[in-house]
Amino acid sequence: MLLREQFNRERIDELIREAKRQGPFHALTHEEREATRREFLAKISHDNGLWVFGYGSLLWNPAFHFTEWQPARLHGFRRRFCLQASIGRGSPEKPGLMLALDHGGSCNGRAFHIAPDKIESETDILWMREMVSGAYNARLIKIRLPHETVTGLTFVINRAHPRYIAEMDIEDTARLVSSGEGHLGTCRDYLNNTIAHLDEMKVKDRYLHELQQKIHELDRRTDMA
Residues known to be catalytic: 130
Q: Considering only CA atoms, which of 218, 195, 183, 221 is closest in space to residue 88?
A: 183
- Nearest residue to 122 via CA among 62, 69, 70, 72: 62
The answer to whether 182 touches 88, Cβ cutoff 8 Å, is yes
**What is the DSSP code (8-state) at residue 116?**
G
CB-CB contact of 173 with 156 (8 Å): no
Strand partners, 72: 109
H-run or E-run covering 78: strand 68-85
Count other C-beta atoms under 10 Å from residue 89's C-beta: 25
What lies within 8 Å, CB to CB, of 60 at 6+ separation is 193, 194, 196, 197
Q: Could you tell me which residues come within 8 angstroms of residue 205 by beta carbon, excluding any fewer than 6 positions away?
A: 79, 108, 195, 198
